[in-house]
Chains A and B, each alone.
Chain A
Amino acid sequence: MNFSRIQAIFIKDYKEFSRNYAVSIMVLLPLIMAFIYNKTGVNNLQAYFLPINLTFSSVTAFVQCCLIAEEKERNTLRSLMLSPATLLDILLGKSLLVLSISALTVLLSIFLVGYKPGNWLILGIALFLSIVFYTGLGTLGALFTKTILEASVVILPIILLFSFGPFVTVLAEKIPALQVAEWLPSTQIILLAASIEGSYTSFDVLIPIMTILIWAIITWLFTFFLYKRRMVD
């Protein structure tokens, strides 16, 4: 791990990202949605969190997936791996960029949709952990993609499952099996947001944060395990 290498990769990826309109335009999607929701006057948490959860999958996971897929597509990953930069340097450089873009987009979405959370610190921790989880998800997705085109296909089930997963809990009364959707990180963050609006115990806060943390840890462990195995091949 080396800071100047991470920085070099960060700057290079920032320039590539900002000039690749096919990918960077995705940032606008949750922002426009947040703006429209605000104008139509919705005020429940389920609606507030749709643009935020959409940011996680369509910006965080998608951009990370595209950044790695493009390196593969252009055949640059190979020379990058032959350089002194390690896999960790490369992934950290990219993840840091994705983290900054996502944080900015999430904050803008919250502002545009007009959501005023009860406790910024607790929500901030949950948002941060979510971003870490979705970055891992994007990295994992990049393993199975070789081009940007494939990356945009891979991202569709992720958007469906994680961004629209929370809506499934409404149906859980009719179909008990759908109760599982409650444990999605995107549902958990809404539950957390709901509890910090009123009076809450530390237990109410810890459960969602721990759930998201476990999702993040499992995803990253799985990703590193698979990458190591691919490297050997």
Chain B
Amino acid sequence: MEKNLAITIDAFAIEGNLISPKIEMQLEKESIFGIYSDVAKINYLTKQLASYSKIHIELRENGMYHRLTVNEYINFVKGLYHSSVDNTSLLQLLDFIDRRNVRLEKLTYSEKQRLRLIPCYINEKPIQVIEEPFQNLDEHSKRTVLNCLLSLKEKQKTVILLSNNMEDVFLASDFVFRLDSKGLHKLDVKEEEPLMIEKSETGPIHFEKIPTKRNEKIILFNPPEIDYIESVEGEVSVYVGGEGYPCSMTLNELEQKLTPFGFFRCHRSYIVNLQKVREIITWTRNSYSLSLHTSEENIVPLSKNKLVELKRIIGI
């Protein structure tokens, strides 16, 4: 079998609304992939993944045979998949050793969720997809599930976790991806702190955050978070997520500091984050606006003389 396993899923749209973009994934053996996304995309993803013959899927809402005991259930799954896994070791791994003769309907919620790992452990397919492995589990069960995922990894399997909770994905995954309407983005989970300490010892301090003041508190914003900055009668406000935060710096100071981050002085009293600009609106020949795609629809004015410069930056 080849070392890398590739998965391609086509884009999916309902009435022009994109539900899920086209996804291409390169998977590696013996690793756990986490995909973080919203419920609609996860639902679509599971449906598509089910058509791959190499993939075994455990859904969040899998049914259960209420009247079987844990041990009988393991025997049943073993029969289905022709497996000779040792019952005791599997019971130990999933911490059912004291509960082996309890009927499934009498198990607690966390224990029922743990049952889903039995088919994953027993079947022979190279890729295991598990939807919401940690959702609403107690601490003990989380640890048990984590242990089981690691032992799946030891068995040379590729595991894909799907969740709409970022924390759950980070808990177990070697590689974390975020799926949004633009595609699959890899998230870097490397620890970068030691590097930063080294830097601050050698050179002058580079402070890139923008300090703002609100209710006697000083809040620091990362430049990419900022939507736009407005100056009204000398008072500078930094807008983040639709809310304004007063800032003590002047627009000129801010412009100097923020230009390397892709900010643009689009008006005498406005600086805009170009990353967040969706549309250039032309009202008349001499009046323009920039529309931002933030949580709320924000419109920032654009001066006529700045338009030429903006066009140069954008490249049109």
Contact = CB atoms under 8 A, between A and B. Distances in A.
Interface stretch (B4-12, B79-87, B175-183, B244-252): B79-87
Contacts, number: 65
Contacts of B72: 11-12, 15
Interface residues on A, range: 20 to 34
B281 interface: no
Contacts of A75: 61-63
A20 interface: yes
Contacts of A80: 80
Interface string A13-52: 0011001100000000000000000000000000000000
Contact of A77 (B57, B63, B66): B63
Interface residues of B, number: 23
Interface in B44-68: 50, 56-57, 59, 61-68
B65 A74 contact: yes
A179 interface: no
Given A12-B68, A15-B72, A75-B62, A82 B79 contact: no
Given A11-B75, A12-B72, A83 B67 contact: no
Contacts of A229: none
Nearest to B62: A79
Nearest to B66: A74
Contact of B75 (A8, A20, A77): A8
Contacts of A85: 80
Given A11-B75, A83-B119, A20 B67 contact: yes
Contact of A74 (B56, B59, B63): B63
Nearest to B61: A75
A69 to B, nearest CB: 13
A231 to B, nearest CB: 14
Contacts of A79: 59, 62-63, 119
Contacts of B59: 78-79
A84 B80 contact: yes
A78 B79 contact: no
A7 B68 CA distance: 15
A83 B61 CA distance: 16
